[in-house]
Structure 1
Amino acid sequence: MWGAAAVSGDKLDGPSYTMMLPAKTTDSNGKPIAFEDKVKWYNSQMALWTQTLANNEKAKIEAKSSRTENLIGNYSFDAGATIENSVGTIEAKSHETSEEFEVMIVGGVTTGFEINGTGVDLTVKTTTGTRNTFVQGSRSENAKTIGYTLKENGDDDALSVDVFKAPDGFGPIFITRGGQTCCPYEDKYVSKYYEPGTEISAATMQIEVPKLNVENNYATDALCPGTCGTRYG
């Protein structure tokens, strides 16, 4: 919304919001207090969640794009049918996430603080904003088996579903290729965060297309409900 004018980096004042410091900026021992920009922190959390959603969509798109490499199988079933299967994998994967903290430091030259239980040494000037990015990485190798059930309860529903290995090591991934559904009708599913607008699952045919027909859609001299005695028309 605010574009380049938004509060970011070392800026503490802008049209979007202003970070206001309390009158007391030192503790009982006279040491400077670190103040965290909570608006920035919440924005960071939302960005992390958005990135997680984008990663999920990316895995689905990549699995579908490399169909020959990732396809486990295709299953077509209708009402009353139940398909049970499992996927076993041995995987080695690594994940890395970063989280950004922005603190307001008042006074001091070299000061130590704790942020989320982690000690951080900061060399700062008087009254300045400091941005710190923490990167956490992990690597694991494990064997796992995931069981799944495909079942359709609708009387006239029928689906054709592709099951893929997940390129990111999670999964499996289920993508609708086609079918017919009702209550609820399953429309196509397109990405919102990774390559927005890319089709992931195809739309099914809509079984129920309700229409309302009225023999006489115009009435005169009709009484209102109750006993008001008012006539319309």
Structure 2
Amino acid sequence: MRKLNSEEYEHYWNNVHMKITDDLAAVCFPDKPAYFNAFYDNIQKYALTKYFTHEKISFKGKKVLDIGCGRGRWLSFYKKRYGAQAVGIDLSESAVHACQNQGLDAHVGSITCMPYEDQCFDFVNSITVLMHLPDQLKEKAIAEIARVLKSGGNVFILEATWKDPSPHVFSFSVLEWEKLFKKYGMRLIYKSAHCFNLFRRKLPFFPIFRDFISIYLDYPLEFLLMNYFYGKQSNVSLQHLLVFEK
């Protein structure tokens, strides 16, 4: 399947935010129902919260940049749950306006050329965002992340690590992510397998009920597997939570 080019990628994400009214659907799966996207939202937040708790990371008074912030679910997460100074950037004007209407700090702009000073953020967050950038833009974005991140700061990414055939996904293996971040002075300090979707991948296809059945079967299994693979890599998972330090 042909992948989107740079212009098509930008048009795709702007179009999604203009057409989709549901906040989670706009940033997860636009063609899926609410229960489906809630599953992904819950396991993503669990993965990050578990890591922050285990590593005793404090965000109080710290500046966090959420790249590709969409309608603000991660800005709200860092601001309300952790007391961070959360800042977001997104290509979509409608998404940024949605953030601002919630009292969140968000700006319209490209993550490949960000309007921020050097070394001004303590943390950078990317949840299934970098994987949507064509490779030539992905490297520019990571160079920008390195530029705006303070020395000793951390980057949290939760991205695809399998060969996703979707035209708008440009996934890397764990090793490829590690090499590209290392190129810009950031070393991998943590990795955990995430998003296994075993039932959804194995159940036979029934057009109406397959997603509903598989998602609810995957709920308990997903949390068990995330705990088992905490701090470990897996070839079975579709994504990994990776943490880099500058």
Q: Which has the larger radius of gyration?
A: 1
TM-score of the pair, normalised by structure 2: 0.18
TM-score normalised to structure 1 length = 0.18
The structure with the greater share of residues assigned to strand is 1
